[in-house]
A and B are shown apart, each in its own frame.
Chain A
Amino acid sequence: MKLYCLSGHPTLPCNVLKFKSTTIMLDCGLDTTSVLNFLPLPLVHSPRLSKLPGWVSKDGTVNLEKKELLDLSTIDVILISNYHCMMALPYITEHTGFTGTVYATEPTLQIGRLLMEELVNFMERVPKAQSATCWKNKEIQRMLPGPLKDAVEVWTWKRCYSMQEVNSALSKVQLVGYSQKVELFGAVQVSPLSSGYSLGSSNWIIQSHHEKVAYVSGSSLLTTHPQPMDQSSLKNSDVLILTGLTQMPTANPDGMLGDFCSNLAMTIRAGGNVLVPCYSSGVIYDLLECLYQFIESASLGTTPFYFISPVANSSLEFSQIFAEWLCHNKQSKVYLPEPPFPHAELIQTNKLKHYPSIHGDFSSEFRQPCVVFTGHPSLRFGDVVHFMELWGKSSLNTIIFTEPDFSYLDALAPYQPLAMKCVYCPIDTRLNFHQVSKLLKEVQPLHVVCPEQYTQPPPSQSHRSDLMLELQPPPMPYRRCSVLSLPFRRRYERIHLLPELANSLVPSEIKPGISVATVSAVLHSKDNKHTLQSVPKPPPVPPTKKRKRVIEEPPEVLAPKPLLSGAVPLEAFLATLHKHGITEVKVEETADGHILHLQAEDTLIQLEEDGTHIVCDNNEPLRTTLRDLVLRFLQKL
Chain B
Amino acid sequence: MPEIKVTPLGAGQDVGRSCILVSIGGKNIMLDCGMHMGYNDDRRFPDFSYITQNGRLTEFLDCVIISHFHLDHCGALPYMSEMVGYDGPIYMTHPTKAICPILLEDFRKITVDKKGETNFFTSQMIKDCMKKVIPLNLHQTVQVDDELEIKAYYAGHVLGAAMVHIKVGSESVVYTGDYNMTPDRHLGAAWIDKCRPDILISESTYATTIRDSKRCRERDFLKKVHETIERGGKVLIPVFALGRAQELCILLETFWERMNLKAPIYFSTGLTEKANHYYKLFITWTNQKIRKTFVQRNMFEFKHIKAFDRSYADNPGPMVVFATPGMLHAGQSLQIFKKWAGNEKNMVIMPGYCVQGTIGHKILNGQRKLEMEGRATLDVKLQVEYMSFSAHADAKGIMQLIRMAEPRNMLLVHGEAAKMEFLKGKIEQEFNINCYMPANGETETVTTNPSVPVDISLNLLKREMALGGPLPDTKKPRTMHGTLIMKENSLRLVSPEQALKELGLNEHQLRFTCRVQLQDPHSDSDTLHRIYTHLKSVLKGYTIQHLPDSTVMVESIVIKLSSSAEDPNTKVLLLSWSYQDEDLGSFLSTLLKKGLPSGLC
Contacts and interface: CB of A to CB of B under 8 A. Distances in A.
Contacts of A514: 485-487, 503
A557 interface: yes
A611 B94 contact: no
A321 B542 contact: no
A176 interface: yes
Interface string A308-337: 000001100110111110000001001101
A340 B278 CA distance: 12
Contact of A321 (B283, B483, B584): B283
A50 interface: no
B418 interface: no
Contacts of B449: 499
B40 interface: no
A212 B538 CA distance: 52
Interface in B281-307: 281-284, 294-295
Interface in B483-524: 483-488, 492-493, 496-497, 499-500, 503, 505-517
A523 B281 CA distance: 52
B597 interface: no
A544 B492 CA distance: 44
Contact of A313 (B139, B295, B455, B539): B295
Contact of A522 (B280, B478, B486, B590): B478
B480 to A, nearest CB: 5
Given A510-B503, A554-B584, A563-B500, A317 B484 contact: no
B480 A337 contact: no
Contacts of A627: 510, 512, 579, 582
Q: Which 8 A-B pairs have the closest CB atoms?
A: A611-B509, A555-B583, A563-B496, A496-B451, A492-B455, A522-B477, A617-B515, A335-B98
A323 B282 contact: yes
A496 B464 CA distance: 15
Interface in B350-393: none
B573 to A, nearest CB: 10
B140 A178 contact: yes
Contacts of B137: 177-179, 324
A623 B514 contact: yes
B327 to A, nearest CB: 26
A567 interface: yes
Given A494-B453, A495-B454, A614-B512, 9 more contacts: A176-B139, A340-B281, A516-B486, A518-B484, A518-B496, A554-B584, A564-B579, A614-B513, A615-B513
A635 interface: yes
B254 interface: no
A177 B94 CA distance: 13
Interface stretch (A275-283, A385-393, A527-535): A527-535
Contact of B483 (A490, A511, A519, A609): A519
A535 B477 CA distance: 8
A566 interface: yes
Contacts of A519: 480-484, 493
Contact of A323 (B281, B583, B586): B281
A602 to B, nearest CB: 10
A603 to B, nearest CB: 10
B593 A618 contact: yes
Given A502-B452, A525-B465, A565 B506 contact: yes
A554 B542 contact: yes
B317 interface: no
Interface string A528-548: 001110011000000000000
B312 to A, nearest CB: 26
B596 interface: no
Contacts of A635: 505
A618 B590 CA distance: 9
Given A499-B450, A516-B503, A620-B589, A561 B580 contact: yes
Contact of B477 (A499, A536, A564, A624): A536
Contacts of B581: 560-561
Contact of A497 (B139, B452, B584, B591): B452
Nearest to A521: B480
> How many residues of A sit at the interface, in one of the four size bands?
35 or more
Nearest to A182: B139
Contact of A637 (B141, B479, B499): B499
B503 A181 contact: no
A531 B541 CA distance: 27
B483 A620 contact: no
A495 B455 contact: yes
A612 B503 contact: no
Main secondary structure of the interface of B (DSSP, over half): mixed
B336 interface: no
A538 to B, nearest CB: 10
A560 B496 CA distance: 11
A317 B280 CA distance: 10
Contacts of A617: 514-516
B512 A637 contact: no
B284 to A, nearest CB: 6
Interface of A: 106, 176-181, 191, 209-210, 313-314, 317-318, 320-324, 331, 334-335, 337, 339-340, 490-499, 502, 505, 507, 510-511, 513-523, 525, 530-532, 535-536, 552, 554-568, 609-618, 620, 623-624, 627, 630-631, 634-635, 637
A514 B481 CA distance: 19
Interface in B62-99: 94, 97-98
A321 B284 contact: yes
B584 A209 contact: no
A340 B282 CA distance: 11
Contacts of B480: 519-523, 532
B274 interface: yes
A567 B508 contact: yes
A630 B458 contact: no
B550 interface: no
A560 B542 CA distance: 13
14 contacts: A492-B457, A494-B454, A495-B493, A516-B484, A518-B481, A519-B483, A554-B540, A555-B584, A560-B580, A563-B497, A612-B508, A613-B513, A618-B516, A634-B510
B135 interface: yes
B271 to A, nearest CB: 11
B277 interface: yes
A617 B224 CA distance: 101
Given A334-B98, A516-B484, A499 B509 contact: no
B142 interface: yes
Contacts of B280: 321
A523 B510 contact: no
Contacts of A516: 483-486, 499, 503
A624 to B, nearest CB: 8
A16 B191 CA distance: 32
A461 to B, nearest CB: 42
A323 B512 contact: no
A518 B483 contact: yes
A366 B427 CA distance: 67
A335 B454 CA distance: 45
Contacts of B507: 563-565, 610
Interface in B243-285: 274, 277-278, 280-284
Nearest to B554: A554
A286 B394 CA distance: 47
B399 interface: no
A109 to B, nearest CB: 11
A616 B479 CA distance: 31
Contacts of B509: 564, 610-612
Contact of B281 (A321, A497, A505, A556): A321
B485 A562 contact: no
Given A324-B94, A564-B510, A627-B510, A334 B281 contact: yes
B455 A210 contact: yes
| Residue among B282, B457, B508, B542 facing the most chain A CB atoms (10 A cut-off) | B508
Contacts of A623: 512, 514, 586
A523 B455 contact: no
A496 B295 contact: no
Interface in B565-597: 579-584, 586-587, 589-591, 593
